[in-house]
């Protein structure tokens, strides 16, 4: 991470997140019944529960969103095996603006799909804080 961290990201780093790890761990081994990617949240449905994942690092003047090229419907019926975060490239604009990316890789019994998290900002609100909950 080359830029300044935003306040939302720093708070997550300092105080942690007690929900995300257990939510992902409790989902391992479950059959995926649905996958929905909205602009700022990925929801994976199972029998009787849903795992929601999003970037919770919002501080101020940022535009955070999620995107994928993968065909998510191909993974319905597979078994959820876990999730991993990988840093992605960063693009620097000529006026100091920055477009960061971070990959959320979902591992299933038939392979992986990747959700790209983007954070576009003016150079002062960098970083990511992927969070999750099980409902």
| Structure-block tokens of residue 41 | 């949240």
Q: How far is CA 12 from the centre of its chain?
A: 14
Residue 71 has pLDDT above 50, yes or no: yes
pTM of the model: 0.84
pLDDT value, residue 73: 97
- How much is the average pLDDT of 53-72? 89
Do the Cβ atoms of 53 and 66 come closer than 8 Å? no
- Map out the domains of the chain as residue ranges: 7-134
**Mean pLDDT of all residues belonging to the chain:** 87
């Amino acid at each position: 991470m080359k830029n300044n961290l935003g306040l939302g990201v720093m708070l997550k780093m300092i105080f942690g997140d007690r929900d995300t790890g257990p939510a992902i761990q409790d989902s391992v081994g479950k059959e995926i019944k649905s996958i929905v990617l909205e602009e700022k949240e990925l929801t994976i449905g199972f029998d009787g529960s849903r795992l929601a994942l999003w970037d919770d690092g919002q501080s101020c003047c940022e535009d955070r969103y999620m995107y994928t090229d993968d065909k998510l419907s191909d993974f319905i019926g597979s078994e959820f095996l876990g999730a991993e975060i990988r840093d992605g490239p960063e693009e620097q604009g000529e006026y100091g603006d920055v477009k960061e990316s971070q990959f959320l890789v979902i591992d299933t019994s038939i392979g992986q799909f990747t959700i790209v998290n983007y954070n576009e900002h003016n150079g002062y609100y960098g970083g990511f804080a992927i969070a999750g909950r099980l409902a």
